[in-house]
Amino acid sequence: MKKTLLIGLPAVVVLLLVFFGQELVDLYRLQAYLTESEEQYQANKGAWPHLTDACEACHGRNGSSLHQGYPSLAGQPEAYLATQLRNFANGDRENPNMTPLAMTMSEEEIQLYAKFFARQPAKDNRYFEADVQNRERGETLAESGGCAGCHGDRLMGQGPFPRLASQGYDYLLNQLDAFAEGERNDPTGMMNSLAAGWSPEDRKAIATYLAGLPTE
C-alpha cells in the first residue's frame, strides 16, 4: 500500500536515536505492529490471503464478534460449525447472508472453516450489559430446562451442541424465536419444543442470561 512504510525497521531505529520525534515513535510502533500481526496471521492461518478472512467482517476477528446481532464462531465445536454450514447450503437453515455464501463451499472448505473457528479461543461478550432481573429469571429457566446436559459444562458447547455462553444477545433471541416459530429446526426437535414452551419474555430472559455468561 503505502510506499513510505517500506523503510526497514533497523533504519527506523537509527533515525529514532537521532531525532526521537513523536512521528518516528509512531512510525516505529506501526512497523512493529505490522510485523507482529503478520507473524500472528501466518501462525494462525498460514499464507495470505486466507479464506477465513472473508468471515471476519461479520463474525469478528478470529471469530469473536463484538456485535450482538452477528454470532461469534470462536470456540464453537467443530462438528456443530460444519453442520450449520451444510444446513445453510442445503436449505435446512435459511439466512439471506449465509445461504448463498455456504453454497460456494466445498466439503473440504467447510472442514477448513469448522476446524479454524473451533480452534480460536472463545471470548467474553464484554460489551453486553445484562439487566440483572432478567438474567436471574433466565438462569432459573435455563436450569430447569437442563441446557447443560446437551450444551455442556458452563454451556461451552460440545459435539453437535453449540456454545451458548457469551454469544450475542440479539442473535440468541433470534434463534430462540426461530426455534419457537419452526423457522429453524434441530434434528431431535428438542430446541423447538423447549423454545415453543417459553413466552417471548422468557426467551428474552434466557438470551440475557446466556449473553452475559462468561466463557471461563
Interface residues for ligand HEC in 132-161 (CB under 6 A)?
A: 142, 145-147, 149-151, 160-161
Those residues with Cβ within 8 angstroms of residue 154's Cβ, 6 or more apart along the chain or in another chain: 148, 165, 213, 215
d(CA 194, CA 113) in angstroms, rounded, equals: 30
Binding residues with ligand HEC: total (CB under 6 A): 39
Residue 142's binding partner among other proteins, ligand HEC, none (Cβ under 5 to 8 angstroms by kind) is: ligand HEC
Q: Are 74 and 118 in contact (CB under 8 A)?
A: no
Q: From other proteins, ligand HEC, none, which one binds at residue 214 (CB under 5 to 8 Å depending on kind)? A: none
Choose the one of other proteins, ligand HEC, none that binds residue 86, judging by a C-beta under 5 to 8 angstroms depending on kind: none
Q: From CA 1, how far away is CA 141, in angstroms rounded?
A: 53
Angle, alpha carbons 56-58-64 (nearest 5°):
60
Q: What angle do CA 86, 87, 93 make, to 5 degrees?
A: 155
Residues that bind other proteins (CB under 8 A): 1-6, 23, 26-38, 47-51, 53-54, 56-61, 65-70, 96-101, 103-104, 127, 168, 170
104 binds, among ligand HEC, other proteins, none (CB under 5 to 8 A by kind): other proteins
For the segment 52-71, give every residue that binds ligand HEC (CB under 6 A).
54-55, 57-59, 70-71
Assigned C-alpha cell, 44: 494462525
Write b or e for each residue in 24-41: b if 16 or more Cβ atoms lie within 10 A of its Cβ, otherwise e: beebeeebeeeeeeeeee
Q: Which DSSP symbol is given to 121? A: P
Residue 191 interacts, among other proteins, ligand HEC, none and using kind-specific CB cut-offs from 5 to 8 Å, with ligand HEC
Which residues of the chain form contacts with ligand HEC (CB under 6 A)?
54-55, 57-59, 70-71, 73, 81, 83-85, 95, 97-98, 101, 113, 142, 145-147, 149-151, 160-162, 164, 167, 172, 174-176, 186, 188, 190-191, 194, 206
